[in-house]
Structure 1
Amino acid sequence: MSHTFPPSAPEAPAPQAAPTQAAPAETATRSTGPAKPRLGWLDALRGLAALTIVVQHFSQFLLPGVFARTSHWLDLGSYGVFLFFLVSGYIVPASLERRGSVRGFWLSRLFRIYPLCLVVVGVGVLVWKLGAYRTLSPVNGFATEHPALAALGNLTMLHDFLGMGGALFVMWTLSYEMAFYFLVAALFVLGVHRRSAEISVAFAVAGVAAVGVFPLLAVTHDQAWIRRSVVLVAAAMAVGLLLVMSRRRPLAVGGALVLAALALYLLVANSRTGWFSMAILATMFAGTAFYRAEQGQIGRGRCAVAGALAFGAIVWVGTRYGEGDVLATHLQKQWPITMAATWATFALGYSLRNHRIPRLFSWLGSISYSIYLVHAVLLCVLLRLVGPHAATTLSSGARVGLGVLFCVAVVLLSHLTFRLVEQPFQRLGHRVTKRVEKLGARSV
């Protein structure tokens, strides 16, 4: 399994190493033509992040020799994941503030994330039922044993904080995305959303100070508590969202406090990664600080301080996760290099924000969320077809060729899911949002 950090645990609540993957980011452009300046660079970064994750997952199973040599110095999976986190940090608050409406923000999020996820998970369940998977299952063990409970937990998108993992092994990052959405919406309602640099610094300091202190899955330590937690978290999330979208200020503030408290509680008390969760949030809010500096809302000095501290925190915490075991030793060799490469790539993209991006990169960025989900199921099917010993029985040339075909198939299928699922639901979400906002304006 992958040695990337943070480890994913799709089949059990206990921390363990597993493949890394990407998180969805806000769609930067609505077409696949040449991307507009100041947005196209985000497309390019998202496309690059998605492809590196596909390569990482394929190579770790079918090119283990190449994977071992490269991952000793550079973890492509974590590179792609944290590149996505930085991009999400930059564009998600911008999306909310551009709309100026928490209700519109959440409606767009629901239509952006859920339809494709439901479709791909449904396909994953279908192919899981059609055969036995010995190498990598398209659906995790908890979901197969407790389908109703797993369905509710995954619908919250907070599954990684509930001791069950995502239905697909690539879904753990969606939990961090959702926690980030909660905090972003809450900060906006409370009127402190421009304090991104300070918030990033606070998370960075908390992560460094709490190394080895935060509990891991302290609440969901058995089946009964997983069940209680899922029900309570789902109820709190529903109440928080309903309140925060209210046009009445006291109710919206109450909803903001509920969502913020829920996110912080799960990050601190019931994360699989403990103190590392703080460093992830520091990274995302550092991405927001870049947006603030680019918009002239904060000084570049504050942005630089936030970025430096977030980078230092993620390096420090990452090299000490699992201190004393094999994972920690491995991370100490490649983690700083991986994070340096991630931040350098983001900085390069940021420096090119006023340049037009070629059509190919714009297109790959637009389908990156599909790539993120689709490749997981397709990889499971491929591994079942070639058998558990393909890494040793097939020639290296055959496996490289298979990798090229796999990447091409992932991109083509992702283009189809983007056109047939993502785009129609995004258009529907846009129409629903306009209708809801219009009805709300009439009632004022």
Structure 2
Amino acid sequence: MNLPDFGVLLVESLILLSVGAALVSYFVRGKYADRIKYIFAYTYILKIIVGTIIVRIITGEYGSSFLSIDTQRAAQVAENISQAGILSYGDYVLYGLDWIPYYYAVIFNLTDSNSIYVMAVWSLVASLTVIPIYILAKNLFGEEVSYTSSILVLIYPSFFVFSFIPHKDVLSAFLLSLSALSLIKSKLSTANILLFSLTILGLLTVRPEMIIVLILSYILWRALISGRRLYTSSITWSIIVVSIASYLTYTVLPDMYADSMFSLEGIYARVEDTSNIGSSGGGIQESIIRQNIFIRTLLGSVFLLIKPFPPTETLTGLDLATFLTPSAFAIYFILPFVLYGVWASIKRRDDGTFLIFLAVLTFVAAAAVTGGAAVRYRVQVMPFLLIFASYGYCLPGNKKPLFLGYYLLFVLGVILYISLKAATIF
């Protein structure tokens, strides 16, 4: 057994021990049950921190061991990158570089120590992220959601302190996940169903694998606290189905749909065949990708739901740009708000006009982002537009006009920022 396998085994044992204790406490009565609940249910943050430290040191991110990282070489790479003037995460993506060695190198240069010590410092700092995440989630979404968000840090390796700096799409996915959790436990209504659907679509756009993580973390939290019988729960069977579907998504379906007319691979294959015509191949490639975007977005949305983008493809090239044009954003996010707003206005509900204004402002901001910014800025800005719009809808009626004013200023700020970016002023 190698070190990564050993680390995974430790963390899984920790989780299974907690679930087992919760199940035992469900059947055992008396003082022992209360003691078990106290030890295994109310000390979960400490367990998550310990477990995350183990994951960070032994397994690392995406299954690669931190212990095998050559931090001295990473320091040299980071120095070369810095001297070349490539400092932002967007530049790292543009040049196809990896941002992780940069942070390794920072710690290495500060401590001048061996790789094991560097990874230990990294892991400790990263694992403590669970505390501010817990506080943030508790204040924004309540106690129960904050518990689940703490478990998210353990399950999904990208949620740690350094990811929030370069990965704004990761932060967006995390906030969208918390929004989904808060809507799950809220009162059932048409508006909540609409917002929950939009949240799931947002996760599909930014981090599709987060939907599976979201389900797993929620059911794990319920098992930890309430000791629910997992084998009788219909949600458990849903998780099994989703897990099988996700396995097919990333293994079988890409090969099956490789030559499909509406698959992304098929589109790119045809683009590559024609992109070498003349000296303006890049322009031809982009124009072909953007032809009939409205129709292909409608047809491609079915394929997107069947085969979401893998995590490694969410920030590369024109693939994500295809589904983040103004027309695609209107179909996925804005149109439901407008339709619901019109319906609410016909029913003489107070929030109908507010929703229409909210949708129009959001669409204007989205069009500005897609018209004058690179793909990475669309990924960063659009989920936040959805979050702010959802937050505004949930406000009491007397605060909605004031929020609309602030939201208008925010949209104008986005347009100004993108305009300056497009003009390469900064």
The answer to which structure has the higher helix fraction is 2
Task: Between the two structures, name the one with larger relative contact order (CA 8 Å, sep ≥ 6).
Answer: 1
TM class by shorter chain equals under 0.3
* TM-score, with structure 2 as normaliser: 0.27
* TM-score, with structure 1 as normaliser: 0.26
The structure with the larger Rg is: 2
